[in-house]
Structure 1
C-alpha cells in the first residue's frame, strides 16, 4: 500500500547486499559478513522490502485524518495502534509488490538495488514476509482498533496487489490514476479507526490524495522515462509527448487544489487559508513545468516531484493543527 507511487523511491535504503544467511558471500564480491552484523543486514534487507520511506508519507496523512475525525486530539493509544497496524499493511503490500515486480526492478536503474534484485532476501522469504505482515496487520487492527479498519486495510492490500500490480501497472498508462486508489486508503482507515464508520470528509481526503497521485508520479516518471520504457511499463511519459504529460499534470493539480477546499465546511478558516496558499504555490510550479516543456527548455520534473511531497504534508499538517486547536468550523452554507 503506497501512496502508491511514492513507492518509487530510489534504491535500497539499507544498502544491504547479503543473502538471507549470515556469513554468505555478498553479490558484490565483498567478504562474508558473520555474526551480529550479518543478522542486522538481513533484518535491514527485509525492512527494505516494506519500503519504509513510502510508509512515512502514508503516516503523514493517516494521523491528520484521525485528528479531523475526532475534531480534537485523538487517544494516543488509538493513534499508535492504527499506525502499527497500518504500517504492517503498507509493508505487506510493498513486500508483495517487490516479489511480483522483481523482473521489472532488475532492469530499472532506480530499483536495481532492491533486496530481491541483489539476492539479499530469497524470493520465498519475501513472499512469506509479505503475507505474514498482512495477516498481522489484520489481527492488530481487529484487536486494538475495530473490525472496519481491519477490513479496509486488508482490502487495500488486495487492491494494490491484484488490481494495480497484476492488472493495471503493465497494461495501461492510466495505471497510477486508478491504481493510486490504494494509496488513498490510509486516510479512510484513520477516520474509521476513530469513528468506526466512513463519512464524507474521509471521502474528500481520499479524493485529495487520488488527484495528487498522478502529478506526483508522472513528474517522477518524466525523469525516469527510459527506465520505465526499458522495463515495459506504459507510464504516461513513456507513451505520450512531454507536452501532453505536463498538461495532464496541470489539470490534475487544479482539480487536486480545488478538492482540498471541499474540506472547508468540516474545518476552520485556518485550514482553508493554508490549503489555498499551498495550492497556489504548487500550481505555480506545475504551470512553470508546463511552460518549460512547451518552450522546449530544460525541465526539472523532480523538482515538482519533491514539492508535491511538501505540498501534501503542508495540507495535512494544517488539517491536524486546525482540528487540534478546535476552532469553529466554517460549516455548510445551507
Structure 2
C-alpha cells in the first residue's frame, strides 16, 4: 500500500511562489493585460523572457541533463497557480507543460533544451478542447511533407515550433515559419487559439504520436487545475476585499448575511479545488493513480473557477461590468478553461470508467 501523499506546500514551493508573484506584481498588472488584449499582440514576450530565461520556469519539468531544472509537476503547479492569479498572457501551459511533456515522451533532447532555456516556444498541434484519451485529428503525409489543417491550437501565434501528429502515427516537429497560422475568434484573449494550415510543410519525425499526445494532454489537464485554483483564489480574495471596502446604508456590504453565505460557500469550493489540484500535481509527479487524480481535478476545477468568476462579477456590482475592471479577463479565462483539455462532463465520464461505475 502506497504512502499517503503530502499535499502541503514545501518551503521550496513557497519560495518559488513568492518569486513568481513578485515578478508578476511588477510586470503583469491588470491594466497592462487589458491593454495588451486590445493591441492585437496579446502575448507578453518580455514577461515570458523574464519567466523562462530569467527564472528558468520553462525548464521546470525538464531533467538537468537535458538543460532543465529537474523539478516536478508540483513546482510547475505552483507556477501555474501564480500565472492563473494574474491571467498572465504567456504560453506557459502550452509550451512549458504540454509541448514539453510530448517531447519528454519522444526523447527529443535538442528541442527539450531549447524550450527549457526559453530560446524557443513550442506547442502541441492538437485542439485545446481535446481531452486526454480522446481521438485527435492528424495531418496527411505525402511525398515526405505534411498536408492538412488543424484548428483550435492554443498560443499558435507565439510559437517557434509545432509538434504535429500525422496519419502515419508519427509526431513531427515543424517550424512555425513553414506553416500558415490563421487566428481564430477567441473568447479568452489572453490565450488565443488559431488554425494551423500545412501545405507541403517539411517536418522532422521525433517519436510516436499516440503516446506523446496522450501523455501531454494528461499533464495539461492535471496542471490546468492549478491555474484554475490560482484564478479562483485571486477572485475570492479580491471580492472579499471589495465587499469590506464598499458601503451601503452606512454599513459594509460584506457584513450582509446573504453575501457572507455566498462567500463562505465559495471559500469551501476553492479549498476543495486546492486539494484536488495539489493531488493531481502530486500524482503526475509520482505516477501513482494519475488518471484518477487528473479526472477528479478537472471534473471539479472547471465549475469552481467559473463560479468564482461569476460571483466576483456580480458582487463587484456595476464596476464589475466595465471593460476597465479586470474581472472580465478572469471570467473569459475560466470559461475557456472549462472546455480546455476536456469538459467536466468528459472527465466525469472518464472517472466513472476508471472507478468501474459506468453510467446506466
What TM-score does the superposition give when structure 1 sets the normalisation length?
Answer: 0.31
Greater helix percent: which structure?
1
Q: Which has the higher contact order (CA 8 A, sep 6+)?
A: 1
What TM-score does the superposition give when structure 2 sets the normalisation length?
Answer: 0.29
